[in-house]
């Protein structure tokens, strides 16, 4: 599917980006180009120690920010597939710095869309979160807006051969900033601070997140049909009633 394709990962130095890069390099050795797009030069340097461009054909590290539309557009030149993983995702940080979250998660998403439309990209998959469903905090609200932008982009693509898709999943176990490393650290104190004794969390593994994105790339061939919303109260093969 991705052999001989050029792929760009925004936020490529994060936990997902590194795991996705590893999977791509293992499964698709004939990738034309794999561009890791992120704004932190130190993280790119550290990732390059793990994935050395001299050892992997076509691997490139591209410094940039999704807030910077011209830089993003330049990075997407001759790219076939974009996986959009860049985001500000820490809930307290988003609450304290709301417009920074808006600039990255919403305006950055629109920059990805417009750059993809302008450069001939064929597929875009954006990572989202369960917190975008009936959001109760700013992070979830910004990701809901981002999701709407990506799905609506299928309505303005015109005759371009491009499809936009979104995947939503829960808390990724062991990812940077997740609760599991925090709990392990708190184990030394003998106390685990939680919101409520009856609370639950929807967790998936990092590998499950990677597999979901690959599934979306393989199956989201008809994004307009996939995003068609059923009439209220009407069940379709894409709508499932609550039990």
Is 58 within 8 Å of 31 (Cβ atoms)? yes
Is 157 known to be catalytic?
Answer: no
How many whole angstroms separate alpha carbon 126 and alpha carbon 185?
A: 31
**Residue that is written with structure tokens 């597929």 in the block:** 123
Q: What secondary structure does DSSP assign to 56-115, as a single string?
A: STTEEEEE--TT-HHHHHHHTTT--EEEE------HHHHHHSHHHHHIIIIIHHHHHHHH
Q: How far apart are CA 243 and CA 241, in angstroms?
A: 6
Name the catalytic one among 5, 18, 73, 131: 131
Residues 72/12, Cβ–Cβ less than 8 Å: no
Measured CA to CA, the distance from residue 107 to residue 195 in angstroms comes to 31
Active site residues: 131
């Amino acid at each position: 599917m991705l052999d001989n394709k050029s792929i760009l990962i925004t936020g490529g130095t994060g936990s997902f980006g590194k795991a996705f890069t590893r999977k791509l390099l293992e499964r698709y050795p004939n990738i034309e180009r794999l561009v890791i797009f992120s704004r932190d030069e130190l993280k790119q340097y550290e990732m390059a120690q793990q994935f050395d461009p001299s050892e992997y054909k076509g691997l490139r590290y591209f410094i940039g920010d999704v807030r910077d539309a011209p830089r993003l557009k330049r990075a997407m030149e001759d790219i076939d597939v974009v996986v959009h993983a860049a985001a500000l995702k820490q809930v307290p940080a988003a609450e304290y710095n709301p417009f920074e979250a808006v600039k990255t998660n919403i305006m950055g998403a629109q920059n990805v869309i417009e750059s993809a439309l302008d450069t001939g990209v064929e597929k875009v998959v954006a990572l989202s979160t369960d917190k975008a469903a009936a959001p109760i905090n700013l992070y979830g609200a910004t990701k809901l807006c981002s999701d709407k932008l990506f799905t609506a982009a299928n309505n303005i693509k015109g005759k371009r051969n491009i499809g936009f898709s979104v995947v939503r999943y829960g808390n990724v176990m062991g990812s940077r900033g997740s609760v599991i490393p925090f709990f392990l650290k708190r184990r030394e104190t003998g106390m685990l601070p939680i919101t409520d004794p009856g609370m639950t969390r929807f967790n998936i593994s990092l590998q499950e997140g990677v597999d979901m994105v690959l599934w979306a790339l393989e199956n989201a061939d008809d994004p307009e049909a996939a995003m068609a919303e059923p009439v209220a109260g009407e069940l379709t093969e894409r709508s499932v009633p609550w039990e």
